[in-house]
Amino acid sequence: MFKKRTLLERLQKQYPLLESLPETIHVDGTEIALIDATLDQVVLAIVDLEDRIQPINRHIYRLRELVDMARKRRGLGAQRIDEIFSDEEARS
C-alpha cells in the first residue's frame, strides 16, 4: 500500500530547501503544527528564534574578533591567548 504524503512532505519534496522544516513551531509558549499555523504565527516563531540566537551570535562574533586580533599579532594555533597578548598588557 502507498502511504499518502502529508502537505508538509509534499512541500519538502517539491522544494528541497524546505527539507528540514519542523513539523511544529512554538508561538507564545504554545506548540502549533506548522501546517495549521498562520503566516503571522510563522513570523512570530522566526522572531522568537532570532531573539534566542542573538546572544549566541554576539558570542561567536566576539570570539572571532579575538582570533582575528591574535592572528594579526602573529599568534599561532598552539599558543595561549595570554602569551599572544601578554606584551600588550605590560604596556597598559
pLDDT digits (tens, 9 = 90+) for 3-19: 788 898 999 999 999 99
Q: How far apart are CA 43 and CA 75, in angstroms?
A: 43
pLDDT at 91: 52
In a domain, 2, yes or no: no
Distance of CA 70 to the CA centre of its chain: 25
Average pLDDT across the chain, whole number:
91
Q: How far apart are CA 92 and CA 20, in angstroms?
A: 50
Range of the domain at 56: 7-91
Give the count of domains, the chain.
Answer: 1
Q: Long-range contacts made by residues 38-47, C-beta under 8 angstroms, separation at least 24?
A: none
pLDDT tens-digit profile of 50-75? 999 999 999 999 999 999 999 999 99
List CB contacts of 88: < 8 A, sequence separation 6 or more. Answer: 73
Q: What is the mean pLDDT of residues 28-36?
A: 94
In a domain, 74, yes or no: yes
In a domain, 30, yes or no: yes
In a domain, 1, yes or no: no
